[in-house]
Chain A
Amino acid sequence: MDNDVILSVRDLRVSFRAYGGIVQAVRGVSFDLHRGETLAIVGESGSGKSVSTKAVMGILPPNAFIEEGSILYAGEDLTKADESRMHEIRGHRIGLVFQDPLSALNPIMKVGKQIMEVLVRRGMNKKDARSRALELMRDVGIPEPERRIEQYPFQFSGGMRQRIVIAIALAGDPEILICDEPTTALDVTVQAKILELINTIKEQRNLSVIFITHDLGVVAQMADRIAVMYAGKIVETGTAEEIFFEPAHPYTWALLSSMPDLETRERLTAIPGAPPNMIAPPAGDAFAARNRYALAIDFKREPPLFRLSETHLAATWLLHPSAPKVEMPRELKERIRRMKEAGSRA
């Protein structure tokens, strides 16, 4: 493991006990997080993107369990750490920003106190904690922190609340920031500001960020590297340029071409059907049933991750030398051409 890697997840499998049976939410996921980078995990609801990071944080719901795999952080396997150790790691090393800022905050506690709580737990005295909390609030762009520190969460707007959550996450001086759909509940103009803020604090503090989202636009703005998840597996991973401009997996193709951009006029290529039931995931490639480029082997055997470059991996049988040559859809090619053009204009 090169020392640039700060967090390393290997063959992680997480399942849930549900009424209908065991839901295999994450089915063998491996990824590395490098120092100072933003890794975006993209997927639809139920793809396992959120569950994987909850496992990293040790905040899985009680009916979930890690079947196998390891999560290595600073030489320590977090899957084996006990609750008090995890608590320490969550407070200090890894910060968390959730989708819904309202439920992440205690509604009957002043926001200042909630920030200071983390600082006091780290051994700071009250006075220092208060001035540090004010500083943090200024850092995350909350105007008039002296007045706002005495207010309750309901007195803040959604965007401001999310800033408070970020301030709390930063109070522990973390190395890693995990953002689980932090802007999904927010309006676009507010979203833009929060994303900017996350990018700024990442630069300032040299944070490593795991950013979970379903919005490819957000990914484009945030990610250095991207992992695309489908049905509990990473189907493709690579740098942002590789995923956006040289996608290799049919699911990535479908994702990229199914949403209209501002230029789109032609009919959208919809992905038929719906994601599979994870209680009994299909044999072979889970995307095969919805994939118009599916091969016979896709229904029988799971594809390995084929290496396309140092950083680019994709799990599709189309990359096997014996597979027929299948090109990405014409509309997508056209769109990528437009994207590159717009990029060179900018």
Chain B
Amino acid sequence: MPEQDNILEVSHLCQTFTSGHGSNRIVVKAVDDVSFSVRRAETFGLVGESGCGKTTTGRTIIRLYDPTSGTVRFGGRVISGKMTRELSSYLSSNIAMIFQDPIESLNPRMTIEEIIGEGLLLRGVSRARVHEAVVEMLHKVGLTEEHATRYPHEFSGGQRQRIGIARAMIIKPKMIIADEPVSALDVSIQAQVINLLNDLKEEMGLTILFIAHNLSVVKYFSDRIGVMYYGKLVEVAESDDLYAKPLHPYTRALLSAIPQPNPLTERKRQRIDYVPERDHDYSREKPEMREVEPEHFVYCSESELRAYEKQLG
């Protein structure tokens, strides 16, 4: 991939989970040789269905899991190596995460001020300063100072998600990993959170790794998109390109499956199936990530590449 101003570079990342011992030992390849890079101040969307490894990828980058192999660079520095105290503090002051579940992701025993301010307190900021910062952050996410003394259960889902965003933003990270930040919210609330993320992104010049299964939201929100299928990244392209000319058969199946709120088109829609055994013949050629046209990568074999190039004309 071309060396641009990449803030995050993931190369050949693998993450396997094992369970059981001896003959019962099961190894699951959650992330299988995934490479991509995210540019400074862009939003990179990672889409796929449940179990495709998109969440694991995000969590491995921020080191909630130790990667099995591969390297992750952030700002030029390798962050996939041995965990030291220094690396841990480097990570936590540069990358923050927003979680899916607005109920699960806030500690029920802590007040909103304690939750949002924790990251700053850990960095030795004085209590008075933390309070100021918390109040400022609350205003930014559309809440008020009086909310600071409250406990999470008193808030609605959308408000809680905004609190989660405030917690991530207060340390002024360079990058945010947003893992399905709206999918647990009601339709009428999702737009509030999406708008807020967009505003903060503009204001703070954030880089966002946006992980979601809702393709309309990802399309709206992301500059570039990576599609994952069973632990593999199968296609990466700029979001308009991906939707205008999807190449990998899985991407096409996925796109054809998104229900669009339009009864006229929806009733006549032809859906595409993806059957890996039928759609690929990898018996002679090995597939790998190849650039079909500038900025458009597909996981394919040599002959598939030629077919795709022909398709694009």
Contacts and interface: CB of A to CB of B under 8 A. Distances in A.
Contacts of A269: 191
Contact of A259 (B49, B191, B265): B191
Looking at chain B's contact residues, the main secondary structure is: helix
Contacts of B263: 220-221, 223, 240-241, 244, 343
A220 to B, nearest CB: 4
Interface in A170-197: 187-193, 195-196
B280 interface: no
Nearest to B199: A267
B23 interface: no
Nearest to A223: B263
Interface string B146-187: 000000000011110000000000000000000000000011
B50 A187 contact: yes
A189 B257 contact: yes
A268 interface: yes
B268 to A, nearest CB: 5
B191 A192 contact: no
A270 B195 contact: yes
A262 B192 contact: no
B156 A274 contact: yes
A339 B186 contact: no
B118 to A, nearest CB: 25
Interface string A253-267: 011101111101101
A186 to B, nearest CB: 9
Interface stretch (B35-43, B212-220, B293-301): B212-220
B190 A258 contact: yes
Contact of B216 (A44, A220, A262, A346): A262
A311 B156 CA distance: 35
B260 A259 contact: no
A220 B257 contact: no
A338 to B, nearest CB: 9
Nearest to B262: A339
Interface residues of B, number: 42
Contacts of A128: none
Nearest to A343: B264
A333 to B, nearest CB: 15
A189 B253 contact: yes
A215 interface: yes
A216 interface: yes
Interface string A226-262: 0000000000000011001000000000111011111
Contacts of A343: 262-265
Interface string B208-250: 0000010111011100000000000000000000010000000
Given A217-B259, A217-B261, A259-B216, 20 more contacts: A44-B187, A45-B186, A187-B50, A188-B213, A191-B257, A192-B256, A192-B257, A215-B259, A217-B258, A221-B269, A244-B262, A255-B187, A262-B216, A262-B258, A262-B260, A264-B220, A270-B191, A270-B194, A274-B158, A275-B186
- 9 A-B pairs with the lowest CB-CB distances in the bound complex, closest first: A343-B264, A217-B259, A260-B220, A187-B49, A270-B191, A274-B156, A216-B261, A192-B257, A258-B191
